Structure 1
């Protein structure tokens, strides 16, 4: 959610879309829970590579 921004990058677009998604598991810290949710329930992620990159950044920033 910290990457939300008006500029249109793949990361900010994903963050903006996830913020608007009322069912997105925003409080989860479980990669598999979030990944499964994205794969099974949304159409705003065209490539899971974006999520994987953001997850790695999340892990680096929250050590």
Structure 2
């Protein structure tokens, strides 16, 4: 099977360097903000996200402590 190059998920068309998920220069932030804009404002995105049924993220108080 041949590895196909990964295209940046912000839509810029660049190919990340081998071993990296994003080209340098904030493309990850650009991709996140583009997705927020598809929902509306940041507040609207947070409201939408909070309504999704996702598994809870363990808090630090759920983790066993070392003694």
User: What TM-score, normalized to structure 2?
Assistant: 0.27
Greater RCO structure (CA 8 Å; 6+ sep): 1
Which structure: larger Rg?
A: 2
User: What TM-score, normalized to structure 1?
Assistant: 0.29
Question: Which has a greater percent of helix?
Answer: 1
